[in-house]
Every structure is written in C-alpha cells, then in structure tokens.
Structure 1
C-alpha cells in the first residue's frame, strides 16, 4: 500500500506533537527515555499507529 503525501504530513504533525508532550509534560526523571520512533496513518486518516522506543 502506498502512503499518500497527506498521510505523511499528518503523521509528521502527530509525531511532533506527541514528542513535544513527552518532553514538556509526561516524562519525568524516573520514567527513563521515551522516543516516538514512527507514526503511520490509515488511508482515511482516522487512526494513527504510534511506535515508541523506551530505555531505562
């Protein structure tokens, strides 16, 4: 399945916003490192599959 330009743009925006939320609000010194590695959108843009990486 090919990913459309719109899917890529929406995925990029969601990834950036989730990353910002992790840095500013959710993550504290005891939770270790959490990184948003990838976001994939369904063709109808209703569902985002978010992939995280954790360390610590």
Structure 2
C-alpha cells in the first residue's frame, strides 16, 4: 500500500459518509467529491484495480 498513501482512508471516509458497506462509484465521482488532481485519480484507479 505504500504506493497509495491515504487511499484506504479516503475510501473509508467516503463509505462512512454514505453510511453504506457497499457503494458503486466512479473515479471521476471521487475526484469531484474530494477535489483530487488528475494524478491522484490515477492513483485511486490503480488502487481499486489491485483490490
């Protein structure tokens, strides 16, 4: 996980805000919600692929 510092926490925060254990979301929606940069979105995408 060292390539993705903060990603697990970011996703956990999102899920807590949704009050759900499962939720479909796109990387673009995460980008818009958290104001992420394009580079950070690549990181999110890579992290999710590895799950």
Structure with greater proportional strand content: 1
TM over 0.5: no
TM-score by length of 1: 0.35
Structure with greater proportional helix content: 2
TM-score by length of 2: 0.37
